[in-house]
């Protein structure tokens, strides 16, 4: 996989992660169950990893 392909893939992960987090925040706002809150925290942690990965790839460009 080329660097450009890796960057494109990482960008897709970041974009999709933002959508997932937005949807989960809406669920938490409506229900606020411990499970939905825990899941949101997990999604946010994963998103940080995706964004760091993308940033590192962009530095190599």
Give the number of domains in the chain.
1
| Statement: the pTM of the whole predicted model exceeds 0.85 | yes
Residues 6+ apart with CB under 8 A from 57: 3, 6, 7, 10
* pLDDT tens sequence across 1-56: 999 999 999 999 999 999 999 999 999 999 999 999 999 999 999 999 999 999 99
Q: CA-CA distances (angstroms) from residue 35 to 16, 20, 26?
A: 21, 15, 14
Task: Quote the Cα angle for 46-49-55, to 5°.
Answer: 145
Question: Alpha helix locations (H) across the chain?
Answer: 3-30, 34-59
Expressed as residue numbers, the domain containing 41 is: 3-59
């Amino acid at each position: 996989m080329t660097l450009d392909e890796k960057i494109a893939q990482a960008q897709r992960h970041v974009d999709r992660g933002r959508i997932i987090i937005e949807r989960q925040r809406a669920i938490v706002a409506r229900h606020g169950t411990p499970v939905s809150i825990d899941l949101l925290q997990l999604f946010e942690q994963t998103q940080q990893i995706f964004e760091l990965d993308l940033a590192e790839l962009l530095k190599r460009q």
